[in-house]
């Protein structure tokens, strides 16, 4: 890989986890040529992608700079995401909201707690969030059960379309704890 200035061009890349969290933490895994996998939330994991201008390149373990941990890189990637990508929310036809972030970073925004703190403060409630596809993040207020049901229906439709699908799991952003958790029984 060409010399990528990590301080400005590395982003989190949320993907569906294809190995268990225990496997991701195992020191027995052969890491040569293997993408760095950071356990994240529910059935999702974070890889790290370098923005090379016309494409993204997933970083491998051997590309991790000496003395830097994957947690260090995660922090840098979140900082870059918040500094370099403009996010917003828009009202949707199902009565909730959608997160917009240029088409490449919507799902990656799940990693940025500061962003979700701002969104939940703006909306004024805990949030129920669906990430059916890489470029689709749907949001409902936790107190709005009819909107949550509509969010579930819309997320299922998007997931069924099969384009860059991520998760059928719902997540809740807790304003008080300032963190995400999976919603049980969804």
d(CA 145, CA 149): 6
For the cut 50, the answer to whether the pLDDT of residue 23 exceeds it is: no
What pLDDT score was predicted for residue 32? 55
Instruction: Identify whether the C-beta of residue 12 lies closer than 8 Å to the C-beta of residue 81.
Output: yes
Tokens of 93: 């036809």
Going along 17-108, which residue ranges are E strands? 38-41, 44-51, 56-58, 88-91, 97-100
In the predicted structure, residue 19 carries a pLDDT above the cut 80: no
pLDDT at 26: 40
Whole-number pLDDT of residue 102: 87
Asked which of 29-33, 35-39, 109-113 is least confident by mean pLDDT, the reply is: 29-33
Domain spans of the chain, in order of start: 6-84, 88-182
Between CA 21 and CA 36 the distance in angstroms is 13
Contact predicate 180/173, CB 8 Å: yes
pTM: 0.86
Phi, psi values for residue 118, rounded to 5°: -65, -45
Q: Which of 28-37, 48-57, 118-127 has the lowest mean pLDDT?
A: 28-37
* Whether 36 contacts 61, CB under 8 Å: yes
36-63 pLDDT tens trace? 888 899 889 999 998 888 888 898 888 8
pLDDT of 157-170, one tens digit each? 999 998 889 999 99
């Amino acid at each position: 890989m060409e010399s990528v200035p990590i301080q400005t061009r590395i982003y989190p890349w949320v993907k569906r986890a294809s190995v268990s969290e225990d496997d991701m933490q195992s020191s027995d895994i052969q890491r040569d040529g293997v993408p760095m996998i950071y356990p994240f939330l529910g059935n999702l994991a974070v890889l790290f992608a370098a923005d090379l201008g016309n494409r993204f390149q997933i970083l491998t373990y051997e590309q991790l700079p000496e003395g830097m941990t994957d947690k260090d890189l995660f922090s840098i990637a979140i900082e870059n995401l918040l500094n370099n990508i403009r996010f917003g929310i828009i009202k949707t036809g199902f009565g909730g909201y959608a997160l917009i972030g240029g088409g490449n970073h919507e799902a990656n925004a799940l990693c940025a707690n500061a962003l979700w703190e701002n969104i939940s403060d703006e909306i004024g409630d805990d949030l129920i969030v669906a990430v059916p596809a890489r470029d689709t993040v749907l949001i409902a207020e936790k107190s709005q059960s009819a909107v949550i049901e509509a969010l579930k229906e819309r997320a299922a439709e998007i997931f069924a379309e099969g384009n860059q699908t991520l998760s059928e799991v719902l997540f809740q952003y807790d304003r008080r704890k300032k963190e995400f958790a999976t919603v049980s029984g969804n």
